[in-house]
Chains A and B, each alone.
Chain A
Amino acid sequence: MENLLLNIDAGTIDWSRAQFALTAIYHWLFVPLTLGLAIIMGIAETIYYRKKDVFWKHTAQFWQKLFGINFAMGVATGIILEFEFGTNWSNYSWFVGDIFGAPLAIEGIVAFFMESTFVAVMFFGWKKVSAGFHLASTWLTGLGATISAWWILVANAWMQYPVGCEFNPDTMRNEMVSFSEVALSPFAVSKFCHTVTSAWIIGGIFCVGVCCWYLLKKQHERMAVESMKIGAAVGLVAALLAGATGHKSGMDVARVQPMKLAAMEALYDGGTEQGLKLIEGIEVPYALSIMATNDPQGFVPGINDILNGYTTPDGRVEPSADEKIERGKKAISALAAYRQAKANGEDATAHLRVLKENMKYFGYGYMRDKSQLVPPVLVNFWAFRVMVGVGCLLILFFAVVLATLYHWPKFLFAKRDITKLPAWHYWAAIMLVPLSYLGSECGWLVAEFGRQPWTIQDMLPTWAAVSDLQSSSVIITFFLFLILFTTMLAVEISILFKQIKKGPKS
């Protein structure tokens, strides 16, 4: 077994991971704004459709313009992500392609065409199609983007919690046996709801931030106030939903990826009645147990518990990492013996039985040492805190913005006029935009760093999933994409700033 991994260049694995992370991080700068602004511009255009007030047409067109500038970069980074599964993770593509490829294909057929068709009507159809058809196109553009998010998150959720599949020793891959289990996995549902609502938060805070800029500059005040009502309402609803779905995601992680949860909490030795560390030394009693199990007495295993094995209060025994590695190696050896026996025309039933008995731990057979099973704790710990902290701050922020806009409760907000606040209020709101992006990216860091070393949980570690490439090739493409994406990001930010400065049609 040791020999099996000796010939993989460690640099290839690290740089392939870095390249995928780079692309995903950049992609996630643009996608949440696309999903979030789709709601804002959809609402603005719906109001125009109902009231026929040209002010709302200009408002919708303004947000659509910002949407368009951002949309192109989302598309550009997205195509790279899809093809990188093949270019950098070729073993992965075969080992689970039978399951993983389907959501990507459905995403293309159902979502991408809807998005790309109606986005063209939305941009260029104002004078060519009826108002109703145009409004439908605007919402269908957002719906297409959201359906696309559904299928890619189904694929991602499957990697975190592989269900609906069986290993086929003859084809040497996992094969789908239940489409509904894959497409409607509870893990996928939670992930979709949490991710999409978090994207709406980005749309909301971006909208409020831009409006605050206008209020600071005393420009386009009507548009700013009216758009802020939409942005803050969308933001508050989304932030509350993200909190609720985040809790459900936390419970899912505790159930199927306990190591990720332990890393998020830097919890080495777990147990019942676990508190949640706000930061090192400050803890909310019982909160971690509640977050993970909905029960203040709930049991949460720590990193050492998972490595050494543990027994839950209800008597379930979880094997140690060493035992899992041993069983994983047994599965791999049984598979090799099975294939040899089949090639020789011998009876392979006994090998198949051993394989099936140990298949659950197949991926552990690629481990050299149990320490490889521990994800980077520091990154997970802080990324989780930044994500949750920013989310809580935004709930408060959106609530205060709405209270100020609607002067409720009266004893606190009766005399506050949103257009006449001290400048630092507006600056604070504007500064929340990059902070929200940081929180959003941190969410993905937790999701992806937390599942290391697995590309597919318990099934395939990163070092058995890569392509046969020289690290130098991946290094070159990494830096090519880094330069390209960074340059384009700089251009996009510059254009966005200028466009915001120019403002909507008066």
Chain B
Amino acid sequence: MLTYSFLQHYWCFLVSLLGALLVFLLFVQGANSIIFSLGQNDNERRLLINSTGRKWEFTFTTLVTFGGAFFASFPLFYSTSFGGAYWLWMLILFTFVLQAVSYEFQNKIGNLLGPRTFQCFLVINGIFGPLLLGGAVATFFEGSNFIVEKGNLINADAITPIISRWANASHGLDALLNPWVLVFGLAVMFLARTLGILYVINNVNDENIRSRGRVRLVGTAIPFVILFVSYLVHLLLKDGYAWKPENGEIFIEPNKYLHNMVDMWYITVVMLVGIVLVLWGIVTEILRDSKFCSSHSSLFKFAGIWPAGVGTVLTVLSLLLMSAWNHTAYYPSTADLQSSLTLENSCSSYFTLHTMFYVSLLIPLVLAYICYAWRKIDSKPIDQEEIANDEHAY
């Protein structure tokens, strides 16, 4: 049962799941990006920061594990994308480093830079983290400008002995010149912001912030929906890079992603369910105070963050699987078609994937204790009183 092909697809699924969870957890960044808008005074901003501050480690850890799992299962991607799109990844990392220290440092006595500086760091990470991560994910569909030649390591006539090379000098920043990469990046940024507002509405016990959040939600969700739908339509119409199992050749297939959606209809169903859940979560919170809500209370039983969060995970997971399964090159090269990365040509050996399969069986246990701890910590929404009495409050 554990064939090489199964393990390649299994690890693609796990990495995609981590990516999907990461996008959901970007609600931390999304909420941080608007702390100056949602929080009108120092107390309100502190409340917001303490709300997201209890979750930031999850986002951070998921990002690190996403990187580690990608490295372990598809090392050629790690080598090619990180080494090639150097500046894109470095900017992403830079913003996350700013975030990591900002919570702990901002309200401590002795903070040499002042709380406002660290709040600005959170805003920078909140805007550019999701935007650039979204841009990086968009290259799975739009392609990147790289060349891979494994023989370079021993080929005396090669231009360079390095096996993967970026074909231009911009090292990843060129991706941001592609308007569709920007569209997807902005969609992820607005999605993170939408999820951030939904999270805050559920997690912060402050009516001013909640009502302000519901107003901002409309202005955030509309651009998200427009950008996301535009990209989805573009994706359905665009050519994709396909892989021939018989000889490993990569070729352009018109409407490849549309074909993937048809061929893998079960993933398409999951994606549609995900999209509906995201929309349901958004609409739930927008209409929360309306007459419609009071007359149809069963529809509004859950806080918006839960359907929207589950929906985000399902949608992103489906999109990432669409980019790689069904003989698709998940990291297309626009410089050299045959350099494109597929599950088959970029993965680890059977032995490594097989060994790691058993390690991955621990994941349900990890998820279980995370959920348990999360429930304990979030047993009641955070409020001003709790912050005032908490020795460790940020």
Contact = CB atoms under 8 A, between A and B. Distances in A.
A336 B154 contact: yes
A112 B370 CA distance: 12
Interface in A302-342: 332, 335-336, 339
B352 A121 contact: no
Contacts of B71: 85-86, 93, 97, 100-101, 104-105
Most chain A CB neighbours (cut-off 10 Å) among B73, B96, B161: B161
Contacts of A484: 94, 97-98
A488 interface: yes
Contact of A494 (B79, B112, B359): B112
Contacts of A80: 93, 97
B60 interface: yes
Which DSSP category, helix, strand, loop or mixed, fits chain B's interface? helix
Interface string A65-79: 100110111011111
A185 to B, nearest CB: 15
Given A113-B366, A117-B373, A499-B109, A86 B352 contact: no
Nearest to A362: B154
B1 interface: no
A108 B160 contact: no
Contacts of A506: none
B321 to A, nearest CB: 19
Given A75-B100, A93-B82, A104-B68, A128 B105 contact: no
A289 interface: no
B61 interface: yes
Contacts of B374: 117
Contacts of A497: 110
Interface stretch (B163-171, B206-214, B267-275): B163-171
A477 B110 contact: no
B10 to A, nearest CB: 14
A183 B87 CA distance: 33
Interface in B77-106: 78-84, 86-87, 89-90, 93-94, 96-98, 100-101, 103-105
Most chain B CB neighbours (cut-off 10 Å) among A69, A78, A87, A115: A87
Contacts of B54: 120, 124
A269 B169 CA distance: 48
Interface string B346-363: 001101100110011011
Contact of A175 (B93, B104, B351, B391): B351
A72 B53 CA distance: 12
A102 interface: yes
Contact of A491 (B68, B113, B352, B391): B113
B100 A7 contact: no
Interface in A447-506: 464, 466-470, 473, 477, 480, 484, 487-488, 490-492, 494-499, 502, 505
A295 interface: no
A124 B93 contact: no
Given A79-B64, A113-B65, A172-B150, A101 B78 contact: yes
A128 B335 CA distance: 55
Which DSSP category, helix, strand, loop or mixed, fits chain A's interface? helix
A103 to B, nearest CB: 8
Contacts of A488: 101, 105
A76 to B, nearest CB: 4
Given A91-B162, A469-B83, A124 B112 contact: no
Interface of B: 54-55, 57-58, 60-61, 63-65, 67-69, 71-73, 75-76, 78-84, 86-87, 89-90, 93-94, 96-98, 100-101, 103-105, 108-113, 150-151, 153-166, 169, 171, 348-349, 351-352, 355-356, 359-360, 362-363, 366, 369-370, 373-374, 376-377, 379, 389-392
19 contacts: A8-B161, A72-B105, A86-B79, A86-B89, A97-B75, A102-B352, A105-B73, A108-B61, A109-B68, A109-B359, A112-B61, A117-B373, A120-B57, A120-B373, A176-B349, A468-B165, A484-B97, A492-B101, A502-B109
